[in-house]
Amino acid sequence: MLDVGKWCIFHMVDDSILQLAKTVCVFGPSGNEAFILTKEDNVYALGANVNACLALTSGTSTLQLKKVEKLSKLNIITFSFGSAPHVLALTGSGQVYGWGGNSYSQVGLASSSSVQVPTLVGGALSGKTVTKIACGGNHSLALISSGEVFAWGYNNSGQIGSGSTVNQATPRKVTAGIGSKEIVNIACGQSSSMAIDNNGELYSWGYNGNGQLGLGCNTNQPNPCRVTGLIGTFVTKIVCGYAHSLALSDTGNIYAWGANQNGQLGTGSKANLVTPSRIATDKGRFVDVTSCHYSHMSSATTALGKIYVWGLCKGQSVTSLMATNFKCADDAYACLSSSPSMSRPLTIGNKKTLKTVSETIAMSFNDKETSDVTFVIDDKFVYVHKALLKIRCEYFKAMFQDHWPEDGQNEIKITSYSYPVFYAFLRYIYTDQVELAPEDAIGLLDLANAYCEPQLKRLSEMIIKNGITVQNAIMLLAAALKYDAEDLEEFCFKFCVNHMTAVTQTDAFQNLDENTLKDFILKASQWGAFKY
């Protein structure tokens, strides 16, 4: 859970508003502006209001929270922001509104003056459903439901992808290079643009003076170009700093390239890179990376929840990944970034001052003093409470009845599951959370299936997804089939197809049972995996 107290600008906000907050964002080159979106679909703003970026009718700065009438009740789901700053908001219905600095029409209006009133971005986006938005320094991107990318704004380095360096006043479809591709993700650096297609291929265009496009050169590109240094790597996420880029692969690896004067590539040096280079090979599997075009800092989260930072942190250059005690990667930007702006809008929980019932229950897990029943697994003990187990789990509700022998026992021995798996299950009953190594998650999936726990099944699937590798992918696919986990099955199947050659050479593939092997080959063939 994000502690908004780490963001100084929220110290002036009344708790009554923070209690209602659903999404918050702090933005601007100096982190002097903020929006709060509440559960009631109201938007509030405070800060410097540079270039009318807060969309307030007064047009002036404010240290007191003000309701933004023009943005309230629009069902806004996220924001993106540029350097002017200009701001885009995406609604649940797929419409985009823009306002703020507009010197280069980055708001989507053919005007060079600031836009105070949030205005629907139309033109080529009219009638289309936008699914993602991204802002660079002075340009903007939008991804629509069909997988097409539209761009507008400043184009001095080709960041619009139009094949020229002429500014674009209204949205224009990016056709060269990616026109026939189904794009699934977009990102912007200060003057560069990135896109990932549904095959995990990465494309880049725009300013390349620091090698941030990853194309092996320093030449600007006015059209999207395939990042050939990542051919054979399935990219799932791309993020951009001011002049550097980070990519996350489906195998949990991080690749970095671009400017490195502050160590923001995490390579251990300050030398720029013009092609992607894998970093942090000794830190295990990563599940997230973040960066922000306002700053020269980077962060990443491992599958076990460890947060690392590198780059310009508190004015110091950190050239290798540094472990932190943050529980949320985004908190690093509040505490360490030279520009205390968020890398992305954040969804938050309610601020609490007293322990809730759920917190108290969580603290009672494995408490020998208050326990009335003990589970013994692999000669290890877990102390729990019979009444809570009966309330939280139908399986235990049935078990602790007069006609079951377990009802009268103070100790119950478990032989069907390992200690890590059953411990994680019992802890889940108390906390709704699962902490388990990926290799044990299949056992937990089995347990969730046997005990009819659908939520636990979903959490197990998430752990498995975060822990998938070439070596275990086909085994995880077989497990997903066995336990009727459709989403996990689809995820594992796509991973296997994306890494077909490597997967088929593993011991797990060689040991696959005949029926599963036949089904996999048939489906892969229908998917087009064997076409030349």
pLDDT, one tens digit per residue, over 83-107 is 989 999 999 999 999 999 999 999 9
pLDDT mean across residues, the chain: 92
- pLDDT class of 14 with cuts at 50, 70, 90: confident
Local structure of 32: helix, strand or coil: coil
Residue 255 pLDDT: 98
Identify the three-state secondary structure at position 72: coil
Q: CB burial class (10 A; 0-12, 13-18, 19+) of residue 223?
A: middle
What is the pLDDT at residue 407?
A: 65
- Does the pLDDT value for residue 402 go beyond 80? no
Among the residue ranges 30-39, 403-412, 473-482, the one predicted with the least confidence is 403-412
14 vs 73 pLDDT, higher one:
73
pLDDT in tens, 119-138: 999 999 999 999 999 999 99
C-alpha to C-alpha distance for 119 and 111, rounded to whole angstroms: 12
Cross-strand pairs, 35: 25, 45
What's the confidence (pLDDT) of residue 1? 37
What residues are paired with 132 via a beta bridge? 143
* pLDDT at residue 80, rounded to an integer: 96
- What's the average model confidence in pLDDT over 343-366? 76
Reading the block at residue 388, the tokens are: 């809570």
Distance from chain centroid for Cα 520: 30
pLDDT class of 17 with cuts at 50, 70, 90: confident
Check whether 385 has a pLDDT greater than 80.
yes
What is the length of the chain? 532
Token pair of 133, please? Answer: 């938005």
Q: Could you read off the pLDDT of 186-229 as tens digits, one per residue?
A: 999 999 999 999 999 999 999 999 999 999 999 999 999 999 99
The residue whose two tokens read 């200690």 is 419
Q: Is it true that the peptide bond before 454 is cis, omega within 30 degrees of 0?
A: no
Q: For strand 373-377 and strand 411-414, is the pairing parallel, antiparallel, or unpaired?
A: parallel
Give me the mean pLDDT over the 132-159 stretch: 97
- 518 Cβ contact list (under 8 Å, min separation 6): none
| ∠ Cα 113 43 94 (to 5°) | 75
What pLDDT shows up at residue 403?
A: 67
What is the per-residue pLDDT for 350? 42
Query: Cα separation of 201 and 196, whole Å?
Result: 6
Average pLDDT over residues 145-161: 97
| Single-letter amino acid code for the residue at 485 | A
Distance (Å, whole) CA 510 – CA 517: 9
pLDDT at 530 over 80: no
Please provide residue 348's backbone torsions phi and psi, each rounded to the nearest 5 degrees: -125, 165
- pLDDT digit string (tens) for 445-496? 999 999 999 999 999 999 999 889 999 999 999 988 888 888 889 999 999 9
Q: Where do the H-state alpha helices sit in 344-383?
A: 357-363
pLDDT range class, residue 439, cuts 50, 70, 90: confident
- Distance CA(71)–CA(44), nearest Å, equals 9
| Range list for CATH 3.30.710.10 in the chain | 374-467
Binned at pLDDT 50, 70 and 90, residue 5 comes out as confident
307 vs 301: CA distance, rounded Å: 5
- Percent of the chain exceeding pLDDT 90 equals 76
CATH topology of domain 374-467: Potassium Channel Kv1.1; Chain A (3.30.710)
pLDDT band of residue 15 (cuts 50, 70, 90) is confident
Distance CA 365, CA 380 (A): 15
Instruction: Specify the pLDDT at position 2.
Output: 43
- For Cα atoms 224, 229, 233, give the angle at the middle one, nearest 5 degrees: 100
Q: What is the pTM of this model?
A: 0.82
pLDDT mean over 56-64 = 89
Nearest one of 57, 320, 341, 293 to 188, comparing CA atoms: 293
pLDDT at 299 (0 to 100) = 97
Nearest one of 198, 201, 96 to 153, comparing CA atoms: 96
Nearest to 209 by CA among 279, 270, 156: 156
